[in-house]
Structure 1
């Protein structure tokens, strides 16, 4: 790479939660060039307004890959919630290898290396493919996103202080998507520091009853968690037209959370300070940050 050429970073999932926040962390850095991958010209407008270059990329259309990956040095790969993620990732990574991409940061899912939760394991298969292809890599494995309590599938989760989830009274490990994006950004900026690393990211263990109690105290209005059967989730996903191969896996892992049969479901990690130099967001901080969104009338 010529000395006068800035490293070019392609952000897939650029309009999504983590991809968009990663761009936010990187956009004012003058040591790299950021390129946002979008599926349509319409979605490119929000980035062009901010002076961010865009390319058209459709994971399902391999004919878009070569142009999108032209002169790209590093990639953040973020796939959707369908079983197609396996094929999409494999084909995209093959294209990235041909294009000369050096470093891949992959947004995966929870779990230790020996996880038996299906969709978590799928992400680990993608990780192994990245490694076998010879890329320099950083694997991100976030636990449950705190943002899932604000909205899920485009719908508000907490309504008039009441929210439903499908894991009984299980304690889960949580992470703010902002923290995941910050680690993604640093891994893309400094691959020499983060190459070969797998970062499990969960920093506050709470049950939904714990969170309801914290919300009640901090918002000064009553909040209540009302657990529902995982069957309710499955039916809602069917009605929403979601990819059921993937959602059956989510349904199964909700049942396992509820039964307490996911080892280490409440495990937290101490790597964030070392990676970023700051403390991860706790539930208390998250509620303060999103107080207006949790509040109701």
Structure 2
């Protein structure tokens, strides 16, 4: 491992945050970038870009240590299932043995005292990272604006109608591309961002308010129709999703709708200091993705 040119491993490269972080770092000459892929087939597109790949499958523990050899810093992005707890522990144990120094962990929403189950799972991973003695940066993004583009492969906004499951609650929102910008900075400059927990949410709005923004920006009517959380649960069951995780999502939708999640609409002012940029607000997001929302 080289102190002058650190090697950074990005997991989740075929997903939103991992992929965006990889793109942010791709042309940085001060680092060696490595993309973790589950199979050789998935490596081809990265090979074509000149990005080194390693095979890493969170469900195949024998792939972890070889993938981590020579790695200095890691963006850890795990899947949205209860298996993330086992997967993260196994990965972190091997990263510790391999001499990885800094972990940037993509977590979830919430205050330290949250009892929303899948948010708390991520906080348990945070504590394990600290217990093993890594230098760390914990990222806690609030609700992704991209969730209105699609969720579970299904288009969310259709012909001006938004159907969601949180009643009239206001949520704190963040553009996933902004999360990737923060992750990139934490990976390039760990000395600036070590021992930090960054909550990332920069625009608080209800779905009714988002529909109003869409109407104003796109010049066509948009409206929100609140759905019972049970409809979501049934859809996830029919889709064959991991129901241990989706029951947690169902529960937190019910809590949102009952205004029973403290700080659900909290927003933060850390983004300019971390990135030197202004965080994305809903007006800019709708403008950027107008082709997806327009009808």
Corresponding residue for 1:122? Answer: 121
Corresponding residue for 2:245? Answer: 246
**Residues 243 and 103 from structure 1, CA distance in 2 versus in 1: closer, same or farther, beyond 3 angstroms?**
same
**In the TM superposition, what whole-angstrom CA distance separates every residue of 1:146-169 from its partner, at most 9, and x where no partner exists?**
000001111211111112100011
| Structure 1 residue ranges without an equivalent (≥5) | none
Does the residue aligned with 1:141 lie in a helix, a strand or coil? strand
Corresponding residue for 2:104? Answer: 105
**In the TM superposition, what whole-angstrom CA distance separates every residue of 1:217-247 from its partner, at most 9, and x where no partner exists?**
1111111111100000000011111111111
Corresponding residue for 2:73? Answer: 74
How many equivalent residue pairs? Answer: 295
Q: Is 1:237 the counterpart of 2:233 in the alignment? A: no
Q: Is 1:136 the counterpart of 2:110 in the alignment? A: no
Q: Following the alignment from structure 1 to structure 2, what is the Cα–Cα distance between the partners of residues 223 and 45?
A: 41
Corresponding residue for 1:162? Answer: 161
Q: Structure 1 residues 129-138 or 5-14, which shifts more? A: 5-14
Corresponding residue for 1:263? Answer: 262
Q: Return the TM-score normalized by structure 1.
A: 0.98
Corresponding residue for 1:187? Answer: 186
Does the residue aligned with 1:35 lie in a helix, a strand or coil? strand
Corresponding residue for 1:23? Answer: 22
Corresponding residue for 2:88? Answer: 89
RMSD after superposition? 0.9
Q: Is 1:272 the counterpart of 2:271 in the alignment? A: yes
Corresponding residue for 1:33? Answer: 32
Q: Return the TM-score normalized by structure 2.
A: 0.99
| Deviation at residue 2 of structure 1 after TM alignment | 4.3
Q: Is 1:9 the counterpart of 2:14 in the alignment? A: no
Q: Following the alignment from structure 1 to structure 2, what is the Cα–Cα distance between the partners of residues 57 and 93?
A: 13
Does the residue aligned with 1:137 lie in a helix, a strand or coil? strand
**Residues 2 and 17 from structure 1, CA distance in 2 versus in 1: closer, same or farther, beyond 3 angstroms?**
closer
| Deviation at residue 89 of structure 1 after TM alignment | 0.1
| Deviation at residue 186 of structure 1 after TM alignment | 0.3
Does the residue aligned with 1:226 lie in a helix, a strand or coil? strand
| Deviation at residue 287 of structure 1 after TM alignment | 0.7
**In the TM superposition, what whole-angstrom CA distance separates every residue of 1:27-82 from its partner, at most 9, and x where no partner exists?**
00000011110111121122112111111100011100111101000000001110
Q: Following the alignment from structure 1 to structure 2, what is the Cα–Cα distance between the partners of residues 45 and 233?
A: 36
Q: Following the alignment from structure 2 to structure 1, what is the Cα–Cα distance between the partners of residues 182 and 128?
A: 22
**Residues 45 and 2 from structure 1, CA distance in 2 versus in 1: closer, same or farther, beyond 3 angstroms?**
closer
Q: Following the alignment from structure 2 to structure 1, what is the Cα–Cα distance between the partners of residues 2 and 185?
A: 22
| Deviation at residue 289 of structure 1 after TM alignment | 0.8
Q: Following the alignment from structure 1 to structure 2, what is the Cα–Cα distance between the partners of residues 99 and 279?
A: 37
Does the residue aligned with 1:260 lie in a helix, a strand or coil? coil
Corresponding residue for 1:213? Answer: 212
